[in-house]
Amino acid sequence: MVASFTLSIAGCRVDNELDSVSKDLSTYTLNLDFDSSTNILSGAESFDYINSNDNTLKTLEFHLYPNAFRGDAKYRPVSTLTSDRAYPNGFSEGKIDIKSVSVDDKNIPVEIGGDDQNMLIVALAEELYPGDKVNVQIEFESLLPNCNHRYGYGQNTYNFGNFYPILSKYEQGNYKRDNYGANGDPFYSDMSNYNVTITCDDDFVLASTGNQLFTSSQNGKTTTTISAKAVRDFAFVLSKKFSVITQTAGKTTVKYYYYDDDNAQQSLQAGIDALNTFSNLFGEYPYETYSIVKTNFVHGGMEYPNLVYISDGCEKYEDYINVIVHETAHQWWYNLVGSNACEYAWMDEGLTEFSTLLFYRYNQEKYPKDTRESLNASLSSFLLFSDVCKSVYGKFDSSMSRNVNDFASDMEYTYITYVEGVLFFDNLEENVGEKNFIKALKHYFKKNKFQIAKPEDMISSFEIITKRDMQSFFNSWITGKVILQQCK
C-alpha cells in the first residue's frame, strides 16, 4: 500500500496551500498558563525568526501591547467616552512583565523601550542577514485587567487579544512603534505559524485561533495543544459560561461560542453565510476553523485570525448579525490580505464595511436590507459630521491615509475610515461597474494573499482589470480632495 500512501501525501501537498505557505514563515511557540485566582498569565515564548527583509538586522523589536493598560500609561486603548463601559467596576490595571530574554540560548539583559514602555528591544549578538534564522526566547507574566476590551476580562469572558510579545514590522530601516491608543486597531504584523499550549482551570471553555489538536487534564487543570499555520496573530477567549454549537462550511468547521442567545443557530448561520459569500466573491477561506465568539467587549466586535469577538453589548439583534458579517469579512481584509492598519485603515475597514453591504446585496432574500438607503444614510451623516467640524474648528480634513494616532478622536477616525471608506468603495464600484469591481477584488485577493498590500497594490488590481489609469480616482479620495454632496 505504499503507492496509495505516497499518492495521498502528494494530494495533500497540492491541496493544502497553508502547508506550502507556512514553510517560509517564522514560528511562535507559546506555552501559556492562566491562573484565574490572580488573573495572571504566565508565558514562555520561543520565536523562530527568519529574516524576510532585504536588510540586515541588529535588533528585533516586539510590541508589548498589554502595557497600554497600565495605570500610568501615556497612550490608552480606552477613551474617556467609553471608560465607564470598559471599566464598569472602576479602573483596573493590566500589564506585561518581561522576566527574561535569550537569543540562541544565551541570556541577554531585558531592554524595554518605545514611547510608553511598549516595546521589547532584543539586541542580536550577530547581524542577521536576509534569509538567516535566529531563536529568541521570552519569559513573561502578564496581568489581565478587569476591562471589557481586547485584552481584559468581564462578567462572562476572559479576552486574550494582543497579549504576547509580537514582532514589530520593520520598514524603511526602522521598526514600527505605533502606540496603542484609543483610535482604531493599531496592529500590523506579518503572517507566522503558531504552536501553542494553553493551561487553565478545567471548567473553562476555550475558543482560539487555529486548530485545537488535543487536550490533557491534571489536578483540575486542562492543557490544550493548538496549531495555527499562516496567520497574522493569535488570540483566545476563555469562559466558564460558554455553550458551543458547530457546523461545517466546505472544509471549515465553524463554531459559535455564546452565553445567552435565543437565536444561537441563526447567529452561527450568519457566520456561515458570510464565510460562503465572501469565499465565492473574493476567493476561498483556506483555514479549517472559524470561531465566532460572544464576548464582554466595549466596541461592536474585533477581528483576529480564525476568531472574532462579537460584543454582547449590541442593542438590536440585526446589529449583532451585522457585526458577525463585518468581522467575518476581515478574515479577507486584515488577515489573509494584510495592510498597515495604522497608516491606511481605510484599506481594511472601508473595504470590510463595503463587503458587508455586498453580503446583504447578494443575500437579499434571507437578509433583507436596503443597501442603497444605508449608503444614503452614511452620506448624510458624513456631511453632517463635516459641517459640524467646519463650524467648530473652521476646517475639515477628509484625507483617508493618516496615522491612526493623527485623528483628533475615535469619532473622527470612525467617520473617515468607515463612513468615508464605504462611500469611497461605493463610488469606485459605480466608476468601474459591478462586474469589474468584483473581478478587481478577486485579483487583489489572489495577488496579495498572505502578504501585506499597499494602496498601490489595490490601485494596480483595478488598473489591470479595467485597463484604465485609476491613480487620480484613488488619489482624489485618499487625499481628501473629492467633494461630496447630498443626492437630490
Closest distance to Zn ion from the beta carbon of 353 (Å): 7
* CA atoms of 406 and 362, how far apart (whole Å): 36
Based on CB atoms, which residue is closest to Zn ion, 61 or 420?
420
Closest distance to Zn ion from the beta carbon of 256 (Å): 19
Based on CB atoms, which residue is closest to Zn ion, 349 or 410?
349
* CA atoms of 372 and 374, how far apart (whole Å): 5
Based on CB atoms, which residue is closest to Zn ion, 261 or 349?
349
Based on CB atoms, which residue is closest to Zn ion, 113 or 300?
300
Query: 455-461: long-range contacts (C-beta < 8 A, 24 or more apart)?
Result: 455/344, 455/347, 455/401, 458/347
Closest distance to Zn ion from the beta carbon of 121 (Å): 31
Closest distance to Zn ion from the beta carbon of 249 (Å): 21
Closest distance to Zn ion from the beta carbon of 362 (Å): 19
Closest distance to Zn ion from the beta carbon of 326 (Å): 6
Based on CB atoms, which residue is closest to Zn ion, 157 or 352?
352
CB 303 within 8 A of CB 317: no
DSSP 202-235: TT-EEEESSEEEEEEEETTEEEEEEEEEEES---
Q: Which amino acid is at 337?
A: V
Q: Left if phi > 0, otherwise alpha if psi is -120 to 50, otherwise beta: which for 190?
A: beta
| Contacts of residue 469, Cβ cutoff 8 Å, sequence gap at least 6 | 463
Sheet hosting strand 57-63, strand order edge to edge: 111-113, 119-128, 57-63, 166-167
Q: Which chain residues interact with Zn ion by CB under 5 A? A: 349, 352
C-alpha distance across the termini of the chain, in Å = 72
Q: Supply angle C-alpha 267, 268, 273, rounded to 5.
A: 100
Closest distance to Zn ion from the beta carbon of 411 (Å): 16
Closest distance to Zn ion from the beta carbon of 415 (Å): 14
Dihedral sign for Cα atoms in the order 326, 329, 335, 340: negative
CB 357 within 8 A of CB 374: yes
Closest distance to Zn ion from the beta carbon of 184 (Å): 9
Based on CB atoms, which residue is closest to Zn ion, 193 or 331?
331
Based on CB atoms, which residue is closest to Zn ion, 200 or 292?
292
Residue 465 CA, chain-centre distance (Å), reads: 28
Based on CB atoms, which residue is closest to Zn ion, 135 or 401?
401
* CA atoms of 279 and 449, how far apart (whole Å): 13
Closest distance to Zn ion from the beta carbon of 180 (Å): 17
Closest distance to Zn ion from the beta carbon of 15 (Å): 31
- Taking the CB of residue 446, how many other CB atoms lie within 10 A of it? 12
Based on CB atoms, which residue is closest to Zn ion, 311 or 352?
352
Based on CB atoms, which residue is closest to Zn ion, 142 or 328?
328
Q: Which amino acid is at 437?
A: F
Q: What is the dihedral of CA 311, 350, 272, 374, to 10 degrees?
A: 80
Based on CB atoms, which residue is closest to Zn ion, 168 or 352?
352
By three-state DSSP, how is residue 302 classified?
strand
* CA atoms of 137 and 118, how far apart (whole Å): 18
